Amino acid sequence: MNTKLHAICDSLGRPINLFITAGQVSDYTGARALLSSLPNVNWLLGDRGYDADWFREALQDKGIRACIPGRKQRKTPVKYDKRRYKRRNRIEIIFGRLKDWRRVATRYDRCPKVFLSAIALAATVIYWL
């Protein structure tokens, strides 16, 4: 019953695309699923869970610069813009506002499709209406 929500957001902190994976699945699965739906942007801000060489190369092929800190187990440290990375709090604010909806926070729905629909409905009402 544990799930992870992966989200693509614009610079104003509004969700554009959402994807759910099982809780025990790596963040790379969500990154791979959302890679094709990335908008045409200059930068992508992500947390350490998305630190992978293949993901950085895929972003570079699309012309997107990655602002993702390296994992602690990485042998060669990765440089990233720390000032720009502080703006990632907008994404955390999205998750917090979505959890204000009790149905999303407590996950009443067992079916992942229905749960994602509830999240999409909450995001639409909160950010787009």
Along the 129 residues of the chain, how does pLDDT read in single tens digits? Answer: 588 899 999 888 899 999 999 888 888 888 999 998 898 999 999 988 899 999 999 999 999 999 999 988 888 889 989 999 999 888 899 999 999 999 888 888 888 899 999 999 999 999 988
Name the pTM for this structure: 0.83
Residues 6+ apart with CB under 8 A from 35: 55, 58
Domain containing 11: what range? Answer: 3-127
Domain count for the chain, please give it.
1
Domain at 100, CATH number: 3.30.420.10
Could you give the residue ranges of the DSSP H alpha helices within the chain?
27-35, 53-61, 82-85, 89-98, 102-106, 112-123
pLDDT of residue 1: 59
The residue type of 59 is L
What pLDDT, on the 0 to 100 scale, is given for residue 60?
A: 94
Pairing of strands 3-9, 15-22: antiparallel
Which residue do the tokens 């042998």 mark? 75
Angle at 73 between CA 72 and CA 76, to 5 degrees: 90
Q: How does strand 65-67 pair with strand 43-45?
A: parallel
